[in-house]
Chains A and B, each alone.
Chain A
Amino acid sequence: MPDKAAIKILNEKCTGCGLCVKACPFGAISMEGKQAVIDLTTCTFCGACVEACKFNAILILMKEEAKADLSDYKDLWVFCEQKKGEIQSVSFELLGKGRELADKLGVSLCAVLLGDGMEGCCGGLVARGADKVYLVDSPKLRNYQDDPYSKVLTALVRKHKPEILLCGATTMGRSLISRVAVKTRAGLTADCTGLDIDREEKLLLQTRPAFGGNIMATIITPDTRPQMATVRHKVMKESEPDAKRKGEIIKEGFPEETYSSRSRLIDVVEEIEETVNLAEADIIVSGGRGVGSPDNFDIIKELAVSVNGAVGASRAVVDAGWMPYSHQVGQTGKTVCPKIYIACGISGQIQHLIGMKSADIIVAVNKDPDAPIFSVATYGIVDDLFKIVPALTTHFKKILGK
């Protein structure tokens, strides 16, 4: 156990009720006799048990650590991702959130842009809310590569000392920011769904899902700077461009060594798949006999494409030859476990339900209010799927900005 933190059960207060055992997300607490016992090898001092205990019988003691000289660090930075010279929209989302947080802290919002010939894009970042743009422009930074990007960003951080650094949780962002965090001994929280400021402590409150979204955790970085976080694409709202905004462009350059790389990008291959593998899909839109004909499946496919989902089908539809077998969900088809399963015109025979009942959210659209599918549905709509499905497609396209 680290000697700077301790957790203990106050034996005189513990009633052995077991609430803490259930509350512990890490399974670190067990009951011995009528007393709770904490396994310190698995305890992470998250404090879930302290909140759960009705008798104030659990104490977490944190050593008062002398805060490092954190006052040198100021401003909120957003790493702006570019591909082929184009700013990725996740950057605009981060600038939107970053603006809000910077205002709460009363600091400047700074965009960081690495690339080749990117100067023309800086104005756009100002319009999206940046007060300053740090630009590092070099032919060596044309495409993302781990070595030069992490060295350049680390050098910038060391030089200018931002107090917060936000980055998209993309294949680029996650690879890059993890390296910068280790190099600068910074705390980093992945995939935040909520970001806020503790005004008193001037700390970034980073909230993220864990255990597949079954629990949420709020995380802080108390003693080191910058406080780093990644945010997934589409989680935050893009800031609206305001062409009248003014900002400062600061160009930075570094010695040649900083741009060197031990790996080499040989080629970039683009391949966009229209449909997603059924078994792996997060979202599945399925059609049944109610769809009426093979041609009508187009509206099912359009809905699936609009949410980057896969197309499923009931056995009846596959047997009728409307859809190939590879799309069949159910006992003799595939068993699926998506986050969302949208069943359109599927009555919900037991053999179908067996294949999809473990989906997180089940939506049923069917004209027949007595269809068994409604008994497992999270959301049910008793209506004509030909009215509902196209309308849903339109709404999802709007939501996803397609």
Chain B
Amino acid sequence: MLNQFFTNGTMLYSRSVTGWEEAVDLVTQPLLSRETIRPQYVDAIKKSISSPGGTYIDLGYGIALAHARPEMGVVKTSLAVLHVSQPFLLADSPEHRITTLFCLAAESNERHLELMKELASLLSDARWRQQLESVSNEEELRCVFTGEEDNS
């Protein structure tokens, strides 16, 4: 299921970013270029993050799930992820250091059930999180999500 969403180009690695807004720009880029979201979705995410309490998308362990509502510009249910080695601060908040930022675009509240199930099960796995934390390039990131061995 996740493999269907994480195709080439939707799993990104960067050593560092200048801040959370650049992280949002980077992680939404693959979805924009595939036209599964409209540019307004990116603005909606940024607005949501910078609003009071907007850091609720921080799931813990440096992982955040950026998203906005379906009607804010989702064309097709899709997912992208950005991993950085150097943490950035979500909404510039020192309490929210992030190294993995997902962008979820869901067409409706119900359609993404299976996707969320798989994502929740991966993210809640402490051993998997440890693997994720050590990722230092795109190929390693791909392997963490596909479960394949890194042959590079």
> Does B bind A?
no
A-binding residues in B (CB < 8 A): none
Question: Which of A's residues lie within 8 Å of B, judged by CB?
Answer: none
